[in-house]
Amino acid sequence: MKKVIQNGTIVTASDTFQADILIENGVITTIGHNLETHGAEIVDAKGCYVFPGGIDPHTHLEMPFGGTVTKDDFETGTIAAAFGGTTTVIDFCLTNKGEPLKNAIKTWHDKSKDKSVIDYSFHLMIGEINDEVLAQLPSVIEEEGITSFKVFMAYKNVFQADDETLFRTLIAAKELGGLVMVHAENGDVIDYLTKKALEEGKTEPIYHALTRPPEVEGEATGRAAQLTSLAQSQLYVVHVSCADAVQRIADERNKGADVWGETCPQYLVLDQSYLEKPNFEGAKYVWSPPLREKWNQDVLWNALKNGQLQTLGSDQCSFDFNGQKSLGKGDFTKIPNGGPTIEDRVSILFSEGVKKGRISLNQFVDITSTRIAKLFGLFPKKGTISVGADADIVIFDPNVERVISAETHHMAVDYSAFEGMKVTGEPVSVLSRGEFVIRDKQFVGKVGSGKYIKRAKYGKVLEDKGETLKI
Ligand code: URP
Ligand code: ZN
Ligand code: ZN
């Protein structure tokens, strides 16, 4: 079935213009005026922006973590993502030391297969490096289309890898065309500080933040960035939360290094004081890195505006307050880290960023979609509105006002981290490869219709014709 989207204002990372879009077989085939509509379904986007679908580069769906499993899976999580204007997610596939990488990837395929309502892809965790692991990486890239590798510098005795692993992963990525991602916090120092806090009887949620100060994030970020320069490789720092880390990324970028930074909605609008909420409510706001003192928010916004940070990921990692976060009552180290954010990522950036004049409309598209597509080998099939691109499209009402609440959100968890927050702007309809997933704010998609996407190597375009991409 053909569709023509009419009367909307198309916004890409570079342009804003009035035009109609013809969609055939899930792909954008014409952009222009007075398009032939014979046999096509007309979609009226009057008064709305027409954005490329958001791409969330950082999700943890149905992931075992902190003695439990994240509440949103590939079904509930991607439905919520679609309601929020996201049409592709890249989820983190965890690995176990000594286990073939393909087994871990199969586990992730099994849990996502026939569940996702939008397209999806995987990053792969690297927990150890040895000849066996190195020998498997070419097939991970070539056969699975997984071209980004995640190294944890924190979570000692769980996920944490040492500097040799990070450095060798950077070298391998350089040689093979991968992008290395880091969770940048100094896990050894955190381990010492948390044990000391518990010994001193400090068990409340706020001590999660106080035992992971900005210096441990700044130090690890700087270390990873400098090792990247030494390896002449490429690095993406996930969930940047504070000024110290922004500064380390900027320092290395200023020397010409290929170091990229992502922040998340929670760091832009919430702060450390939330962890002090009474009745253990602070546990809802336990993330790693932790929420920071409020003044860091201005630094993050400015970094998005001036390009020192380039992307917004949700770091969706949802746990119920009752029954999951509550595992940490009396011991903050047992509170599962993470929160529900997948649905609110795009709206918060639009409302707090564009509407409040902190970033431009085109920057908003770049930060939530285009740059992510370029960095992670999805461009130009995803991340833009152009002829030949997948018709992953968000029709967005920029003026509607609403209040974020667990009562109305679509994530499976029993609270919202942004409860009561007023936002302006909301996706009205969302299309994935030309099919409605959300239509007039109702879910009309099909569970299992999302496709696994094999991604291009770092710096290459999807459906590679040998072209090099300027990111
Ligand atoms: O607290 C967080 N960020 N939870 C998700 C796992 C991670 O470190 O990204
Ligand atoms: Zn992390
Ligand atoms: Zn994460």
Crossing angle of helices 101-112 and 131-142, in 10° steps, is 40
Name every residue whose Cβ is closer than 8 Å to that of residue 145 and which is 6 or more positions away in sequence.
121, 377, 453, 454, 455, 456
Residue that has been written with the tokens 């599962």 in this structure: 336
| pLDDT band at 328; cut points 50, 70, 90 | very high
Give the closest residue to 125 by CA, choosing from 109, 113, 140, 142.
Answer: 140
pLDDT of residue 233: 98
- Of the listed ligands, the closest to the CA of 59 is 3
- In this prediction, what percent of the chain has a pLDDT beyond 90? 97
**Residue 469: per-residue pLDDT:** 85
CA dist 75 and 66 (Å) reads 22
Closest residue CA from atom 4 of ligand 1: 338
Instruction: Please report the sign of the dihedral spanned by the C-alpha atoms of residue 108, residue 392, residue 463, residue 22.
Output: positive
Distance CA 191, CA 211 (A): 9
What separation in Å is there between the alpha carbon of 263 and the centre of ligand 2?
11
Whole-number Å distance, alpha carbon 90 to ligand 3 midpoint, is 11
Tens-digit pLDDT profile for residues 207-233:
999 999 999 999 999 999 999 999 999
Is pLDDT larger for residue 332 or for residue 462?
332
**d(CA 166, ligand 2 centre) in Å:** 15
Q: What is the pLDDT of residue 166?
A: 98
pLDDT for residue 199: 98
Atom of ligand 1 nearest to the CA of 65: 6
Give 465's pLDDT tier (boundaries 50, 70, 90): low
Task: State in Å: Cα 91 to ligand 1 middle.
Answer: 12
pLDDT tens column, 181-200: 999 999 999 999 999 999 99
Give the separation between CA 108 and CA 60, rounded to whole angstroms.
11
pLDDT in tens, 248-285: 999 999 999 999 999 999 999 999 999 999 999 999 99
Tokens encoding 76: 């509930």
Strands ordered across the beta sheet of 234-237: 54-59, 86-93, 119-125, 148-152, 179-183, 234-237, 258-263, 311-312
CA pseudo-torsion sign 316, 322, 324, 330: positive
Q: Looking at residues 50-68, what average pLDDT do you find?
A: 98
Angstrom distance (rounded) from CA 176 to CA 79:
34
Ligand nearest to the CA of 183: 2
pLDDT of residue 471: 84
Residue 183 CA to ligand 3 center (angstroms) comes to 8
Distance 192 CA to ligand 1 centre (A): 19
pLDDT above 70: residue 365: yes
Residue 464 confidence (pLDDT): 60
Quick one: pLDDT at residue 466? 66
SS3 call for 438:
strand
Distance (Å, rounded) from C-alpha 329 to C-alpha 129? 36
Atom of ligand 1 lying closest to residue 152 CA: 8
Span 121-126, mean pLDDT? Answer: 98
Verdict on whether the full-model pTM lies above 0.85: yes
* Segment 69-77 mean pLDDT: 98
What pLDDT does residue 261 have? 98
Residue spans of alpha helices (H) in 200-262: 206-210, 214-231, 243-254
Pocket of ligand 1 (CB under 6 A): 60, 183, 239, 287-288, 315, 317, 337-338
Q: What is the pLDDT of residue 1?
A: 85
Q: What is the mean pLDDT of the chain?
A: 97
Which H or E element spans position 442? strand 442-443
The Å distance, Cα 460 to ligand 2 centre, comes to: 26
Q: What is the amino acid identity at position 138?
A: P
Domains of the chain: 2-51+387-398+425-468 (2.30.40.10), 53-375 (3.20.20.140)
pLDDT digits (tens, 9 = 90+) for 129-179: 999 999 999 999 999 999 999 999 999 999 999 999 999 999 999 999 999
Q: Best mutation site among 58, 59, 60 for ligand 1, i.e. most ligand atoms within 8 A of its Cβ? A: 60
Ligand 1 atom closest to the Cα of residue 58 is 9
pLDDT value of residue 249: 98
Q: How far is CA 296 from CA 14, 186, 345, 418, in A?
A: 28, 19, 19, 18
Q: Is the pLDDT score of 371 beyond 70? A: yes
Establish how many alpha carbons lie within 13 A of residue 401's alpha carbon, considering only the half-sphere containing its beta carbon: 4
pLDDT of 467: 73
pLDDT in tens, 372-422: 999 999 999 999 999 999 999 999 999 999 999 999 999 999 999 999 999
Query: Who has greater pLDDT, 470 or 316?
Result: 316
N-term to C-term CA, the chain: 34
Q: Which ligand does the CA of 92 lie closest to?
A: 3
The confidence score (pLDDT) of residue 308 equals: 98
Residue nearest to atom 3 of ligand 1 (CA): 288
Percent of the chain clearing pLDDT 70 (strictly above): 99
Closest C-alpha residue for ligand 1 atom 5:
338
Q: What is the mean pLDDT of residues 314-319?
A: 98
**What single-letter amino acid sits at 48?**
C
Residue nearest (by alpha carbon) to ligand 1 atom 8: 288
Residue nearest to atom 7 of ligand 1 (CA): 288
